[in-house]
Amino acid sequence: MAVALPMESNPETMSKYLHYLGVSDKWRMVDVIGLEGEALSWVPRPVLAVILLFPMSDAYEKHRATQEIEFEKKKEQTPIDIFHLKQVMSDICGTVALVHSIANNTHKIDLKEDGLLQKYLDNAKGLDSAAKGALLENTTALFNVYKEIVASETTGGGHEEEPVSNHFVTFVHKDGKLYELDGRKTMPIGHGPSTPETLLEDAAKVCREFIERESGNICFNVVALVPAE
């Protein structure tokens, strides 16, 4: 079983992690400094994925339970090629979010054939969400890379980890819709129509809804997967 460090919502470290896993350096993570208007226009395009860090609260847990019941009742079909994995361990949501970001954009992102992430994706083919999660949990090398990166960047004082009460989710575009990929949910959650061009704005709208549910909590951060140049 892997032993993981909780991930920081730090785009520089996240980018380095992805590159070590075999993602082309033509892509990187950047901060999204605001969720409306001009702040969104500063984010490089195209945006392939948006990752939200938010506090896991009673409001989140209540909404998650209600949301999953509603989606079960609707029997809403999700695209068969959308990659969703269930989170098994409590401290790996950052890695899960990054895997969701890349795995749903392999048609646009080059991965090293012998890279750790490509090997994981090859082994995950044909598995359901729970089995993908179990496979990730046992892919120790993926988590060791992040620990090595953190150790190399730490100079005294130790690594300041995100509190484990925080959680990452990913938003991607697939087949004309915006999907939320949360390792703590049993299925991808559809949030209505979207396009590759409007992914950031559509995801920002859902992120604002997360913030509104938390009544004053400011522990939120948003990053996006974008071109390096």
Catalytic residue among 93, 100, 173, 207: 93
Which residues form the domain of 53? 11-227
Burial 68-85 (b: 16+ CB within 10 A, else e): beebeeeeeebeeebbbb
23's CB contacts (< 8 A; 6+ apart) are 102, 109, 110, 111, 115, 117
Residue 205 belongs to domain with CATH number: 3.40.532.10
Our answer to whether residue 219 is catalytic in this structure is no
Query: Does the active-site annotation cover 207?
Result: no
Query: How many domains does one find in the chain?
Result: 1
Blockwise average pLDDT, block size 10, the chain, 229 residues? 76 97 98 95 97 90 87 81 92 95 97 97 97 95 93 62 75 97 94 97 96 82 96
- Cis, peptide link before residue 227, omega less than 30° from 0: no
Q: Is residue 179 part of a domain?
A: yes
Mean pLDDT, the chain, whole residue set: 91
Out of 84, 100, 159, 167, the active site residue is 167
User: Per the confidence metrics, is the pTM higher than 0.75?
Assistant: yes
4 within a domain of the structure (yes/no): no
